[in-house]
């Protein structure tokens, strides 16, 4: 039995089984103010486009090697489909803020940034969707560094300065349908910033400006920083990356316990060398009917 299966069974047992499904709870994002709408309307567009060199990303280990590309592409199709369905209500009841998805891990080194990038690339292939990838790891902004925009204004700057328009810091890329919001200038009080009412307004704007947009946050590990806890309150779905044969079972349990009851949580086993069997990968909605099959991912 895998660490994911064990973690789910232990968590369900500790909460008295699997009661009927509930919608995600937690703090709801604030509506965007008329003043903020006016700021956005008057702001100029971004001054440049991020050029994404996929060969360089592959050489850096952030994309699968060529001989695994087709296999991984199929796995990410299976990972993204339930996330998209819950976001848009395709065949299922949509969940509140389901179009905002946070990718996290219990501890560092699980492959969450690899997951975020490859999931974003897979999602942008959808013909009727666009993807905004947000570097929500404001402590260690790895994606911003990978894209070479770690010194550009971003999420924290917009939260600090209400006069700064979001559309000026959301950077287009040369990958169709994919844009990127850097983490922004670091701040010693990042947790307090992310827990503020201003952040609720910003996140609300990210999720409501474009009805065809999925917002994907690359987050800090849940057991490492408090910033990830503040961000988790504002998204509808959380994907927790679990590294095969490495992540302690208790760490997975502890990471899930940091999230609010009823939060839609997906657990993805990463770097598994085993062939998947039925029920081996799970999407797990806390207090929401147990586990459903998801899929694995194996980075290089």
Segment 194-204 shows an average pLDDT of 93
* Predicted pLDDT of residue 282: 40
pLDDT band at 28 (very low <50, low <70, confident <90, very high): low
Residue 154 — φ and ψ, nearest 5°? Answer: -160, -140
Domains of the chain: 3-293 (3.40.50.300)
The Cα 183–Cα 149 span in angstroms is 9
- Residue 178 pLDDT exceeds 70: yes
Q: What is the mean pLDDT of residues 270-287?
A: 48
What b/e sequence results for 260-297 when a residue is b if at least 16 CB atoms lie within 10 Å of its CB, and e otherwise?
eebbbbbbbbbbbeeeeeeebbbbbbbbbeebeebbbb
Higher pLDDT, 40 or 146: 146
Rounded distance between C-alpha atoms, residue 260 and residue 255, angstroms:
11
pLDDT per residue as tens digits for the range 8-21: 666 666 555 543 33
- Report the pLDDT value the prediction gives residue 15, as an integer from 0 to 100: 54
Which residues does residue 231 pair with via DSSP β-bridges, in sequence order? none
- Please state whether beta strands 282-285 and 291-293 pair in parallel, antiparallel, or not at all (unpaired): antiparallel
- pLDDT for 218 beyond 70: yes
Task: Please give the pLDDT value at position 288.
Answer: 33
Percentage of the chain lying above the pLDDT 70 cut = 79
Residues ≥6 apart with Cβ < 8 Å to 50: 147, 148, 149, 171, 172, 173, 174, 180
Q: How far is CA 234 from CA 68, 194, 208, 259, in A?
A: 35, 10, 13, 11
Mean pLDDT of the chain: 83
What is the rounded distance in angstroms from the CA atom of residue 45 to the CA atom of residue 205? 16
CA 81 → CA 69, 126, 222, 256, distances in Å? 18, 10, 24, 22
Assign 293 a pLDDT band (cuts: 50, 70, 90). Answer: very low
58 sits in which H/E element: helix 54-59
Angle of the 3-14 helix axis to the 249-257 helix axis, nearest 10: 50
Measured CA distances, 191 to 47, 146, 227, 266, 293 (Å) = 29, 23, 5, 24, 34
> Could you give the CA distance from residue 236 to residue 224 in angstroms, rounded to a whole number?
21
pLDDT score, position 281: 38
With 70 as the cut, is the pLDDT of residue 103 above it? yes
The per-residue pLDDT for 16 is 55
Which of 203-218 are b and which e, b meaning 16 or more Cβ less than 10 Å from the residue's Cβ?
bbbbbebeeebbbbbb
Is pLDDT above 90 for 125? yes
d(CA 163, CA 78): 41
Instruction: Report the pLDDT value the prediction gives residue 68, as an integer from 0 to 100.
Output: 87
């Amino acid at each position: 039995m895998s660490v994911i299966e064990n973690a789910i069974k232990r968590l369900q047992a500790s909460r008295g089984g699997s009661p009927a499904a509930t919608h995600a709870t937690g703090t709801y994002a604030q509506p965007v103010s008329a003043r903020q709408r006016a700021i956005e309307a008057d702001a100029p567009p971004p001054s440049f486009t991020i050029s994404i060199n996929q060969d360089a990303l592959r050489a850096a280990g952030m994309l699968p090697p060529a001989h695994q590309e087709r296999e991984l592409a199929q796995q990410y199709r299976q990972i993204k489909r339930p996330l998209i369905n819950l976001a848009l209500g395709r065949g299922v009841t949509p969940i509140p803020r389901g179009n905002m998805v946070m990718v996290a891990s219990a501890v560092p080194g699980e492959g969450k940034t690899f997951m975020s990038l490859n999931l974003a690339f897979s999602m942008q292939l959808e013909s009727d969707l666009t993807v905004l990838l947000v570097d929500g790891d404001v402590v260690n902004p790895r994606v911003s560094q990978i894209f070479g925009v770690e010194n550009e204004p971003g999420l924290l700057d917009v939260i600090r300065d209400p006069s700064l328009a979001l559309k000026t810091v959301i950077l287009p890329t040369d990958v169709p349908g994919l844009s990127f919001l850097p983490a922004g200038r670091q701040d010693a009080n990042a947790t307090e910033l992310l827990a503020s009412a201003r952040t609720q307004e910003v996140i609300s704007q990210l999720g409501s400006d474009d009805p065809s947009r999925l917002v994907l946050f690359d987050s800090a590990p849940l057991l490492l920083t408090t910033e990830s806890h503040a961000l988790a309150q504002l998204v509808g779905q959380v994907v927790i990356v679990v590294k095969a044969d490495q992540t302690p079972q208790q760490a997975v349990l502890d990471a899930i316990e940091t999230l609010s009851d009823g939060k839609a949580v997906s657990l993805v086993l990463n770097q598994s060398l085993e062939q998947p069997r039925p029920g081996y990968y799970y999407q797990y909605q806390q207090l929401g009917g147990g586990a459903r099959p998801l899929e694995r991912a194996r980075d290089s």
